[in-house]
Amino acid sequence: MDTDMETAESIQADVFVPTKLLRDKIRQFSQRHREELRAKSKDALRFGLGEIHAQVEELNNITVKDVLGLVKRIKRRKHASVEEMYRFSHAFLQSIDNIKIFAKEPGALQIIIKELTGIDSERQIGAVECLCNLSLGEAPVCEKIANLAGSYLVTYLDSLDERLKRTSLWTIANIMATSAKAALVVVQMEIVSKLWNLYIDDSGDKDLTSDFREDAAVCLQLLVVQNRQVLRMEDLNFIKCNMCLKKRDGIGAEYHLQLLFHGEAINPKRELNMEESIYLIDYILENLCTIDGFTSISNRLRLLYGIRLLANILACQPHALNVLLQHIKEVFNTNVEDMFNKMFAYRSQRLTMELIYLLRQLLSLQENETQPILTLENLRIANMDSCMT
């Protein structure tokens, strides 16, 4: 198996989904929720619109002083109402200073977490949304959330309430993106199997507005790529043993090969069986032979990691070559040279480097074949100096 970390890191830098995208998603969801509440208020109350407008403006301008006032109020009662948690949520979105001042107040976080312990779903949702926006803070804040509320967040991944489940996923993603210590805490709560089962579940519809698969994929990406050191052997074995359950056309499928690569599913110490080899080869070739273009992150994830994994499969399991060649010819009605030339034509330096590594593997195996796999003269390798990154 190849150990060229520089190349692996270059792929990672090229296709790692920035956590800013997830955080923007949280903000957009909160903004939509606020607009929905405003619309409902107007529908229910055809009078007093000026008062409603003033309340909305107040939510958009919560200061540190306001946060301190809210903290003082909930500490006095040892309880936070849904409205107070809603105000905290907006305060944390608006300013990192609001997050910092709340985190410094002894006992304030514990009061929010206390609202998770009851059976009132509205209070639970209010508390989790509060924690989600609080997790936009720095590492110490995220570590406190993981330690004090991690077990609740992991449990809510099994919830039937979509809003509770989605917000818990976002909170978990935030704390893992911010702190390796927080990531370790939730990993020890058996989160990997829960995330993986959410990710591979392709039984539902493809309505992205009520879907958890991509959010689960982002969480897994944060673990296997950014926090690989916190994963246990049983976590990696679980991923490998269940990798064949993900469909290539399922939501979040573009992350699949990246997760398998960084999760070391293809490893000389963990031999692939025939079913796994066929699944991976078919999955990868479907990407290589049907995808047109290399500009989107989705296509880059599928192509770069597909080529790298294919090379590693051949390095670890040379007998897989016959399966590969048979599928290229009989299933996808093409040949190795045309497949390579299609991807060389994208003129990407990073993609070309990966293709050359795969080419080295094929040429090494070709020495033992009676028929040539390919002819170098037929490959149209672009000048590396003229390639894009």
The mean pLDDT of 307-318, rounded to a whole number, is 91
> 28 vs 35, 93, 95, 177, CA distance in Å?
11, 11, 16, 19
Residue 242 belongs to some domain of the structure:
no
Instruction: For residue 373, name the pLDDT band (cuts at 50, 70, 90).
Output: confident
Residue 212 belongs to some domain of the structure:
no
pLDDT digits 0-9 by tens, 72-99? 999 999 999 999 999 999 899 888 999 9
Give the pLDDT confidence score for residue 10 in this predicted structure.
52
In the block, tokens 């670890």 appear at: 316
Give the pLDDT confidence score for residue 385 in this predicted structure.
57
**Among 189, 206, 232, which residue terminates a domain?**
189
% of the chain surpassing 70 pLDDT:
81
343: pLDDT strictly greater than 80? yes
User: For residue 301, which of 264, 350, 241 has the smallest C-alpha distance?
Assistant: 350
User: For residue 343, which of 330, 358, 332 has the smallest C-alpha distance?
Assistant: 358
Residue 311 belongs to some domain of the structure:
yes
Residue 226 belongs to some domain of the structure:
no
pLDDT digits 0-9 by tens, 172-201? 999 998 999 999 999 999 999 999 999 998
**Are 31 and 145 in the same domain?**
yes
pLDDT digits 0-9 by tens, 255-307? 999 999 999 998 877 778 889 999 999 999 999 999 998 988 889 999 999 99
Cβ proximity of 224 and 262 under 8 Å: yes
**Are 36 and 154 in the same domain?**
yes
Residue 132 to residue 88: CA distance in whole angstroms: 11
The mean pLDDT of 49-59, rounded to a whole number, is 45
**Among 122, 157, 189, which residue terminates a domain?**
189
Q: Structure pTM?
A: 0.84
Give the pLDDT confidence score for residue 377 in this predicted structure.
86
3-state secondary structure 266-324: CECCECCCHHHHHHHHHHHHHHHHHCCCCCCHHHHHHHHHHHHHHHHHHHHCCCHHHHH
φ/ψ of residue 259, rounded to 5: -65, -40
How many independent structural domains does the chain possess?
2
Give the pLDDT confidence score for residue 85 in this predicted structure.
93
Residue 159 to residue 175: CA distance in whole angstroms: 20
Residue 372 to residue 363: CA distance in whole angstroms: 9
**Are 42 and 179 in the same domain?**
yes
Q: How far is CA 218 from the centre of its chain?
A: 1
5: pLDDT strictly greater than 60? no
Rg (CA), the chain: 25
Residue 334 to residue 287: CA distance in whole angstroms: 14
Residue 288 belongs to some domain of the structure:
yes
Residue 100 to residue 7: CA distance in whole angstroms: 39
The mean pLDDT of 376-383, rounded to a whole number, is 82
Residue 107 belongs to some domain of the structure:
yes
Give the pLDDT confidence score for residue 271 in this predicted structure.
79
**In this predicted structure, which of 49-53, 54-58, 93-97 has the lowest mean pLDDT?**
49-53
> 36 vs 21, 33, 84, CA distance in Å?
22, 5, 18
| Residue 120 three-state SS | coil
Instruction: For residue 246, name the pLDDT band (cuts at 50, 70, 90).
Output: very high
Give the pLDDT confidence score for residue 206 in this predicted structure.
55
Give the pLDDT confidence score for residue 14 in this predicted structure.
52
Counting Cα atoms < 13 Å in the Cβ hemisphere of 152 gives 25
**Are 271 and 157 in the same domain?**
no
Let me know if 189 is exposed, middle or buried by CB neighbors in 10 A (0-12, 13-18, 19+): middle
Instruction: For residue 27, name the pLDDT band (cuts at 50, 70, 90).
Output: low
Q: Which residues pair with 348 in a beta bridge?
A: 388
Instruction: For residue 48, name the pLDDT band (cuts at 50, 70, 90).
Output: very low
Residue 374 to residue 39: CA distance in whole angstroms: 64
**Are 35 and 159 in the same domain?**
yes
Residue 284 belongs to some domain of the structure:
yes
Kindly report the CATH number assigned to the domain that includes residue 165: 1.25.10.10
Residue 63, domain extent:
17-189
**Are 167 and 24 in the same domain?**
yes
**Are 177 and 281 in the same domain?**
no
**In this predicted structure, which of 35-44, 135-144, 184-193, 262-271 has the lowest mean pLDDT?**
35-44
**Among 145, 162, 189, which residue terminates a domain?**
189
Residue 218 belongs to some domain of the structure:
no
**Are 31 and 176 in the same domain?**
yes
The mean pLDDT of 375-388, rounded to a whole number, is 74
The mean pLDDT of 301-322, rounded to a whole number, is 92
Residue 278 to residue 209: CA distance in whole angstroms: 33
**Are 24 and 162 in the same domain?**
yes
φ/ψ of residue 267, rounded to 5: -145, 135
- pLDDT mean across residues, the chain: 84
**Are 38 and 168 in the same domain?**
yes
φ/ψ of residue 48, rounded to 5: 70, 30
**Are 271 and 181 in the same domain?**
no
Residue 128 to residue 236: CA distance in whole angstroms: 29
